[in-house]
Structure formats: C-alpha cells, structure tokens
Chains A and B, each alone.
Chain A
C-alpha cells in the first residue's frame, strides 16, 4: 500500500506511456521500478502483466479505441473544419462507406478501416465546393472589379481580340508540376487585324493549317519553350512577324500563277476567253463590238456569276441548274 501511494505519479505515467507508441524505454524503465507495487492493485495493470512480460514486449497498455468521429458527425456539419487542408485519408473522420482494393477470393473490396490503398492515393477532400467558395470569399478582398464597360462578349472581342489559353494542372501527387502546363494557345480573328486583301491572302498562306476558314481564326500553339511565360512571348512574337511579313510584297510574288490563287477569278480565265470567242463568232459580220461592251451585257454577267459560284462553292445540282439557265440566256435558246 505504501508502495502504491508513494508512486502514484509513476503509475499514471505508466498508463499514459502505454498509449504512446515508441516510448518504449520509459515504459520498461517505469515497469522495472514499480512493477511489484502496481501489479497487485490495479485491474488495468493486471492486463498489461499478462500481455507484456519480456524486454521485447509490445505497448504496455493497449487502450481501447474510442468510437470513431464519424459516429458523432451530423449531416449538416461544416466539412471545411474536418479537412481544412490537404491531408491523407483518415477512415475515422470520413463518414463514407468507401471500399478499395482487390477482392480476394471472389469477395468484396476491403473496407476503409486500415486500408492502405486509400491512404496512398491523393484525395481532394479539402477542396469541396463549399471550401472553394470560402477561398473565393477570402480572396475577394484582393481582387478588383470587372470593368463595367465590358458587359457583352462582342465588346470583349472588339477590345481584346487576341485570346490566350493555357492549362493549369492541380496535382496532389509526388510532384506538383505537370509538363503540359507550358503549352500556350493563341487565337485571333483575322477580321480584327488591320489587313488589306493581299496581306490577308498571304497571311492565310503563311499560316497553312493554323487558319480555320469557317471561323476566320488563326490559332498559334507553342510548346517549344520550357516555361509558360516564354511560350507566351514566343506566340506573340510569331503573330507580330506574320503580320509584318504579310504586309510586305516580295519580288517573286509576281510569279503567282492561276493554280496558286485561292479563289477562282473569272477575269482572264479560259472560261472568259471561250465565251468571248463564241460571242464574237456569233455576232453578225460587219458589226464591230467592243470587248467591254460584250462583257458588260447582263447575260454575260449572269454567266460570270454562275461560273464563280460553280468553281468556288463546288458543284451541286442547284449550281448546275443555274449555270444551264445562264447559258441558255447567253445563246438565246
């Protein structure tokens, strides 16, 4: 009894130490000192005597784990308080019946308790929509207002015609960085640039497959530099160079042939020559008509329109039909 009284601190120390892993030496120390006195009286210590005898024994007093926190969670609790920051998966704090792993012997995937697979993978439990809203609210004080003049898409496009896109990657793995984050895409509509006819055609030719005819957009994608900032600068540089080069006219551009033309032009085409020839042969002998007069006739103009449509838009039944009408009018059938 006296021994017990004289070592109350030691016994309590012993109990506490039992629950902490790794503090092995203290336990063994305290055990050696007070084992005789404590053993006879306390029910808890009787257990530990049976459990851990030798020097290599386990935790002394394995305390019962209390009920997990999930039991006490309400449905409308504040989740941001449970997972305020990025943390590993704790089965006792996440109230979801998650299963993960290979089902051994045709069974089911193992439960979440003590499941290493769940702990290994990155989780985003700290980034629920509520949490993000809170982040936004907190960041708002550092933001400026959206300019009130830019309230529609058209106005935005008008004042800021160049659109730059790049991707951010959120990674909760071993490394935070993703190499794809350096890619920068620059989109601009050619109608918003100050280009004349020749410059526009040249730019489209220089852009090759980067130009989309349907949306009139030039898309420049750069990924040759390691940093996003560098790629952005390179894309802007490319755009500037394209613009200035397309305004220049080189000496060899004079040699552009009909095959290089983007659109079919009726003037100086074989079609025009044929029509002229035919009309000249058709007119009665002696009447001298000027070429311009002949070409200026409405029937010829209509023929020209249908030819342009046929060649530029492609051949369809409808276009052919209109062509037929034009030819009939030309020859007065």
Chain B
C-alpha cells in the first residue's frame, strides 16, 4: 500500500509484497502456457492429494482402528498421484530424455502400474 509513509526504516517490506505478487503472476503466466493434457494430469494429481488429506482428517476424527484400511486408502491416493506425476514426466514434450517414448506406451505403463497398485490395495483393505 503506502510506498512513501514508512520512510527509511522498512524499505524492504513493501518491496517484498510487490515481489510476491510479481512472483505469483509470473508463475501463473508460465503455468498457463503448459499444454492442456499436462494440465489435466495436474488436476488429477491435485484431486488425489485432496482425497488423501480428507482421509487423514477423517482418521484424526474417528481414530485409526482398522489401521490397514486407513493405510491402504491413503497410500492408494498418494500412489496414484505419484504414478500420474511419472506419466506427466514421460509425456511432457519438453523432456528431452523421453522424446523417443510414444505417449501410448507411457500410458500403458501407467495403467499397468495402477492395476498392480490397486490389486494390492484391494487385498490390503480388509
């Protein structure tokens, strides 16, 4: 707000405010430039993490009695988020290491890994 009134003492603080705004703006701008398919994957990751947090909150409220159920629920969310991030890494065109990998193969690997993960989850759910 006031660039003049604080005087000589707190020269840095208003600069930090403006800096933070500038930071967030540039982050938004750079992120908006990413392709749509990557944004969809990011949305999926975000959804999985929120679900995991909801489960942790629920556990905090009712206690962790069937601990295996809690563990399998939370780890399935985190697990599928991690796998989605791996898929994003492999599909991202800016990534030079994976330019020979066809995106269909990356997706097939993603599905396979998720299958194994959820098989284990169903077994462990109890």
A interacts with B: no
The residues of A with any CB-CB pair to B shorter than 8 Å are: none
The residues of B with any CB-CB pair to A shorter than 8 Å are: none
